[in-house]
Structure 1
Amino acid sequence: MILGPRFDRALALAHDLHRDQTRKGGNIPYISHLLAVCGLVLEDGGTEDEAIAALLHDAVEDQGGQETLDRIRDLFGDHVAGIVLECTDKIERRPADDSPKGWRRRKEADLAKIASLSQGALRVKTADRLHNLRSLITDYHIDGEMLWRRFNGGRAGTLWFNRASAEALMTTRPDNILCQELIRACNSLENLLKFDLETDSSQ
């Protein structure tokens, strides 16, 4: 598959929308995440529409709400806009409820809709979760237990959500390589934490 001018425009738009954002807790440009998710989607056999949606999967939630969704639909069509919408937690610009109960409700709602996602949205969602989890493992090696301060769910909530997401996605596509890698990444993180806990307790 050759990526055409539509992909070029999507890449430029993603950079324009997210140029002032960095990854949580660091100075890494946010577009690094979008490029990584897009790469995973393409390596999984994704279409150009799915690759474009991967580049823009956080645009509506983080950068403009309904106005940005309308812009994506105008530029790239209903299919891309539909995938982006399926991957969007909220469209409204009102601040999210980041209390423990509010965070848990949002994450439970996100998990509940996985079973009804289109194949394109499942591919983008899985790639998104996989890259986030890989980044989490890397950051844990650097920051240790201080890492969990970045997340509204803390250590326990973050581990719960990653495991629940991986299992829900695996149920939808059990033979998919990305889903299998996501489960392995969950196992790796949990085993790493268990090893560190056992090491600390033995000292």
Structure 2
Amino acid sequence: MAGLVIDADGTEDQAIAALLHDAAEDQGGEATLAEIRAKFGAEVAGIVAECSDTFETPKPAWRPRKERYIAHLAEASDGAVLVSLADKLHNARALLRDFRTVGPALWGRFSQHDPRQHLWYYRSLLAVYADRTDDAMVGELRDVIDTLDREIAAVGTM
């Protein structure tokens, strides 16, 4: 992911945030975010915070959490949008690769088992990214999601 950010002319702080983007969300919440702030500065910590959909444990229900993240992203900093876009492109590529390997069993790995919901999420994010940036990753993400959608439909998992 950091490579995607750098390739998109992201800053050093944005690349560092890309490396740490899930750290606070998945490993310690606000305490981890404070560590990131102390070690890497307010800019990195701010992007990490903006890229997190929750610090709550257990995590809230999937759909409302994703809806909040999408709404938040529309107002997020440009750095957070870039890091989020790189993350989602990386994740979408992994989903497509894994779907090709595992097939419909892939969805059992996630708390949300319905592939239509994942497609809704990615398409909703895509709309925000397209409004916020003209980076080439937007088109790449669109292509990956369209391909994933077609391949899911072809095996009849929806």
2:151 to 192, 196, 199: 192
Deviation at 1:162, TM superposition (A): 1.4
2:64 to 81, 89, 105: 105
CA distance in 2, matches of 1:190, 1:90: 27
Aligned to 1:61: 25
Aligned to 2:11: 47
1:96 to 42, 46, 59: 59
Aligned to 2:120: 160
Query: So what's the TM-score if we normalise by structure 2?
Result: 0.93
Aligned to 2:75: 116
Give the number of the structure with larger relative contact order, counting CA–CA contacts within 8 Å between residues 6 or more apart. Answer: 2
Structure 2 gaps of 5+ residues are none
Determine if contact 1:166/1:186 at 8 Å carries over to the other structure.
Answer: no
1:10-34 deviation per Cα after TM superposition (whole angstroms, max 9, x unaligned): xxxxxxxxxxxxxxxxxxxxxxxxx
CA distance in 2, matches of 1:75, 1:185: 35
1:71-86 equivalences under 5 Å are 71-86=35-50
Task: Name the amino acid aligned to 2:111.
Answer: N
Aligned length: 156
Is the radius of gyration larger for structure 1 or structure 2?
Answer: 1
Please list every run of at least 4 consecutive aligned residues from structure 1 whose deviation after the TM superposition is greater than 4 angstroms.
none
1:129-182 deviation per Cα after TM superposition (whole angstroms, max 9, x unaligned): 000000000000111111111222222211211121122211211x21011111
Structure 1 gaps of 5+ residues are 1-36
